[in-house]
Amino acid sequence: MNDDNCILFFDSGLGGLSLFLEAKKLLKKQKFVYVADFLNSPYGTKSKKQIKNLVLSNLIQFCEEFSPKCLVLACNTATAVAVDFVRKTFKNIVVIGTEPAILPALRAGFKKILVLCTHATKEHNKLLRNYKNNQKLIFYCPNKLAGLVDENFLNKEKLMPYISKILSKFKGKVDAVVLGCTHYVLVKEQIRKVLDVPMFDGNEAIAKQIAKNVKKSNSKSSKTVFVATDENKQKYLEQVGNFLLKDV
């Protein structure tokens, strides 16, 4: 494996871009490929078997095409269901997953923490099982939110009525929020308008883990390749990705 090979990010849609940006800040000369499986999104309401098959079939196809040195499941849902299978399938590639940042929120001493994640993450993430009876945690799965973020990224304010409708009931009842889905990080500011409390996500820590685990690249061309599995969304993905990259 060549040090200049790419790092491949995978998510059902735009959410993983929130993690990709953190990694890009640390690895400026690195080639990245970002794959969004719009054709099959959202993942969070699908069955374990469906998610596993989608993750593996996509990764097999894109690893063949791009030969990455590292695979990042930039999706809590895909990680919860499929990270073990991905590690077994791609033994020679560094595989990094994404988990809800519950531990940092607990360590910071918060007493009522709202954990927002998809249904599939709540059901299948092994770590979450340890927390199911923890009195400090309230789990909530806003099933439509990831899809709405994908559709309305360029006009996030349009999401305010929905975000307000689903989260207002927690006002004054929680003192921190864990954003346990990479899509939710993209609407952190909109969520803050309803719940103005400290928010936790794992993106920065995971980006550091990626940087630590891959051999440094000095590739001259560090242009990011964006791939949407739904051809009709290819331009949209490039537009959003390049827009976000401007701040890096």
Which residues of the chain form contacts with ligand DGL (CB under 6 A)? 11-12, 15, 41-44, 75-77, 118, 121, 146, 181-183
Tell me how far, at minimum, the Cβ of 197 lies from ligand DGL, in Å. Answer: 21
Strand order in the sheet with 32-36: 94-96, 70-73, 7-11, 32-36, 225-228
Nearest-Å Rg of the Cα atoms of the chain is 17
Tokens of 205: 């820590």
Tell me how far, at minimum, the Cβ of 81 lies from ligand DGL, in Å. Answer: 10
Position of minimal CB gap to ligand DGL:
44
Compare residues 5 and 20 and give the one whose CB is closer to ligand DGL.
Answer: 20
Tell me how far, at minimum, the Cβ of 85 lies from ligand DGL, in Å. Answer: 17
* 8 A C-beta contact, residue 187 and residue 201: no
Out of 6, 117, 141, 181, which one is annotated catalytic?
181
Compare residues 76 and 217 and give the one whose CB is closer to ligand DGL.
Answer: 76
Looking up tokens 């899509």 gives 183
Compare residues 30 and 79 and give the one whose CB is closer to ligand DGL.
Answer: 79
Instruction: Give CA angle at 238 (117, 85), nearest 5°.
Output: 45
Out of 6, 75, 117, 141, which one is annotated catalytic?
75
* 181 is known as an active-site residue: yes
Kindly report the backbone phi and psi dihedral angles of residue 151, in degrees, each rounded to the nearest multiple of 5, phi listed first.
-75, -35
Tell me how far, at minimum, the Cβ of 146 lies from ligand DGL, in Å. Answer: 4
Compare residues 38 and 66 and give the one whose CB is closer to ligand DGL.
Answer: 38
Q: List the catalytic residues.
A: 75, 181
